[in-house]
A = this chain, B = another copy of it.
Amino acid sequence: MSFNETLKSLIKSKKSHLCIGLDVDKSKLPQSVLSTDEPILTFSQQIIKYTEDITVVYKLNLAFYEALGEKGYRILKDTLSMIPKEILTIADAKRGDIGNSSSKYAEAVFDDLGFDAVTVNPYMGFDSVEPFCANPEKGVFVLVLTSNKGSSDFQQIESANGIPFFLEVARKITEWNGNDNIGMVLGATHPEEIESAVKAAPKLSVLIPGVGNQGGEGSRVKNIFKDNDQSPFIVNSSRGIIYASSGEDYAVKAREVAKELRDELN
């Protein structure tokens, strides 16, 4: 089954559009967690345990593991092994390079680490994205319009066709979706632009970061997709969920906030 089909059916069966971002920063962990042998693993394990029944995807940001140096790889692998097989995993890696290098990145993320999907940057064009798309079962979320302030610097510049640059990207990547495994990253902080991108690329799945800490609203996102059953969408929250409480009740609070967001999206 193609990645986009798998995602669609998982959203349906689990009645959830929730993606939880495991951006675990040691400096933000509660005292009891810090006193364990592997604080990041302890914390991740608890978050997963308290949210696995309500989330369809966990998104792991590779930057956080790379910053740990040598031990980062093992912690990443061990975190992945704690996630139940039926839940999808996204490597939030934002990779992209010339073909032979992108092939190596795809090998690292899919074959070695075993992720189900990856985020990629479109700036270098087709041959930089293609190696990630080779296996229809693996998902490829292409950055289209991101949630951060800097998204106005280039993504929203107008092209000579009279449309913003991010729509040029949305249109083009639709042509690359022969394996039905491409998705778009569209920041929740731009609800109107999400609508125009989904119109330009109606058959792609959609990953929406930026709710919670970054200011996007779940209810607004839900409305965009209310009459749309061909674009499977997932909404990611990272810090808003995993750091919902800085105290010892962090896992319970994470579940509460995650459940609220899930319900808001249904």
Contact = CB atoms under 8 A, between A and B. Distances in A.
Given A67-B107, A108-B67, A112-B67, A125 B98 contact: no
16 contacts: A63-B102, A66-B105, A66-B112, A70-B73, A72-B108, A92-B101, A98-B146, A98-B214, A121-B124, A122-B154, A124-B146, A124-B148, A154-B165, A157-B159, A158-B160, A160-B160
Contacts of A212: none
A67 B103 CA distance: 9
Interface string A85-115: 0000000101111111110110110001000
B121 A150 contact: no
A149 interface: yes
Contacts of A98: 146-148, 214
Given A154-B169, A168-B157, A94 B66 contact: no
Closest 6 CB pairs of A and B: A125-B150, A125-B153, A63-B104, A66-B108, A158-B160, A67-B104
A169 to B, nearest CB: 6
A126 B92 CA distance: 19
A125 B151 contact: yes
A61 interface: yes
A195 interface: no
Nearest to A158: B160
A153 B172 contact: yes
